[in-house]
Amino acid sequence: MTAPAADAVTAIEEGLAALGTRYRDAFAGAADEQALRDAQAAVLGKKKGELTRVMALMRDVPKEARPEVGAKVNTFKQGVQEAFQSRLQEMAREARNADLNASPFDLSLPGRLELGRGHLHPVHQTRDDLLTIFRDLGFEVVAGPEVETEANNFTKLAFPPDHPATDMQDTFWVDVLESGDDPRSVRDGKVLLRTHTSNTQIRVMSQRTPPMAVVSAGAVYRRDDDLTHSPMFHQIEGFLVDENVSLAHLKGVLTSFAEALYGPGTPVRLRPSYFPFVEPGAEVDIGCVFCSESDGSRSSCKVCKTTGWVEVLGCGMIHPEVLTHCGIDSEKYTGYAFGFGVERIAMLRYGIPSIKLLFENDPRFIEQF
């Protein structure tokens, strides 16, 4: 009876040895994780695993030899598990290295989320187009401040002290505190938000000697609020000072401006008007570009109210008193000045019915420009 028992032990040992060679080859040759798991199941699988078949021989192993054989089987199983785990880790390492060595992501590729390109606000587009026209005519573009002294905004422009524009109703006055002032006893600071860009006339003419030809654009502020007025809007101011400057030069420049804006042959007319800082002063109308007499549509034109003319700006010959306030010899030099609202031009240009649309910043409106 010892022979079969010894045979069984030997058969198990040989079986384990043969299996050992096979699983090592199979693990090493497994191409991916699934193949590795399949190879492991072929050895250790409870029902069909090859170890189970070897273990069937345990029946013939004598009782006293079983612990020893059992220990060998356990060591074998452990060996299979360790070999399986280390091959699994090796595969993970290989995958990671392949990933790292692969060509990198192209970070310069465009994103999937499309963020549309922004653009300048229609008021700024119009401002820039208008400034370009004057730059092409030889004017220099200069900036001026929005917070201004009463002197530069009104007094030096020859506004009489009681002029309605200086009224609380029209002008935003700025409280100016000096350090140590008690906020409850604010002095009348004589500082304001400029009501027009004409302040740049005073600033530039006080600093330079003629000849000069300047345009300036920027925000201005008034206590005004309706369909065609906003408390903040934009103006462009232009002026030229030299010897022998006449109203004819002014009309020539304004005609070139109207033609650049609305096309060749655009008619221009000057209507006498009053501004404290010019003498004579005029309002400038241009021929309505939204209707024409030939097709009879003028009778219903809302823009020119059927007059055929649209008022676009104020102008005049700079008052000698203003030149004197700026230290310019008014016997030697003369000059002209003009000023107009950028929003008004934009509204005429694009047929915008309310100035409010320009400042509500609704993307559905702004996108159209």
Instruction: Give whichever of 57 and 165 is closer to ligand DAH, judged by the CB atom.
Output: 165
Q: In angstroms, give the least distance from the CB of 201 to ligand DAH.
A: 7
- Under rule CB under 6 A, residue 159 binds ligand DAH: no
DSSP category for residue 118? P
212, two tokens: 């000069």
- How far is it, in rounded angstroms, from Cα 322 to Cα 204? 12
Residue 288 near ligand DAH by CB under 6 A:
no
Q: At closest approach, how far in Å is the CB of 368 from ligand DAH? A: 28
What does DSSP say about strands 278-287 and 309-318: parallel, antiparallel, or unpaired?
antiparallel
> What does the DSSP 8-state code read for residue 31?
-
| 275, 312, 322, 358: residue in contact with ligand DAH (rule CB under 6 A) | 275
The one among 144, 287, 335, 339 contacting ligand DAH by CB under 6 A: 339
Judged by CB, which is closer to ligand DAH: 15, or 314?
314
Nearest one of 75, 49, 74, 68 to 5, comparing CA atoms? 68
Separation between Cα atoms, residue 321 and residue 93, nearest integer Å: 89
Question: Are 327 and 349 spatial neighbours (Cβ–Cβ below 8 Å)?
Answer: no
CB of 276 to ligand DAH, least distance (A): 9
**Which residue lies nearer to ligand DAH by CB, 15 or 339?**
339
Q: State which of residues 202, 315, 348, 352 lies at the interface with ligand DAH (CB under 6 A).
A: 315
The only residue of 150, 237, 285, 343 in contact with ligand DAH, by rule CB under 6 A: 237
CB atoms within 10 A of CB 131: 18
CB 137 within 8 A of CB 253: yes
Rounded-to-integer distance, Cα 194 and Cα 69, Å:
104
Contact call for residue 314 and ligand DAH (CB under 6 A):
yes
Please identify which residue in 127, 156, 196, 234 interacts with ligand DAH, judged by CB under 6 A.
196
Contact between 203 and ligand DAH per CB under 6 A: no
Q: Taking the complex as a whole, how short is the minimal distance between the CB of residue 241 and ligand DAH, in angstroms? A: 12
Cβ atoms of 198 and 171 within 8 Å: the answer is no
Asked if 218 touches ligand DAH (CB under 6 A), the answer is no
Nearer to ligand DAH, 266 or 273 (CB): 273
If binding is defined by CB under 6 A, does position 278 make contact with ligand DAH?
yes
In the complex, least distance from residue 326 CB atom to ligand DAH, rounded to whole angstroms: 14
b/e map 320-352, b = 16+ CB within 10 Å: bebbebbebebeebbbbbbbbbbbbbbbbbeeb
SS3 at position 136 = helix
Report the side by side order of strands in the sheet with 191-193: 147-149, 191-193, 173-174
Q: According to the binding rule CB under 6 A, does residue 285 interact with ligand DAH?
A: no
From the list 14-22, 53-61, 312-320, 344-352, the region that binds ligand DAH by CB under 6 A is 312-320
User: Can you tell me which of 316, 323, 343, 346 binds ligand DAH, judged by CB under 6 A?
Assistant: 316
Q: How far is the CB of 198 from ligand DAH (least distance, A)?
A: 4
- Angle between helix 122-136 and 342-350 (nearest 10): 110
Kindly write out the interface string for residues 22-61 of this chain, putting x where it contacts ligand DAH by CB under 6 A and - elsewhere: ----------------------------------------
Amino acid letter at 186? V
The footprint of ligand DAH (CB under 6 A) covers 196, 198, 237, 275, 278, 314-316, 337-339
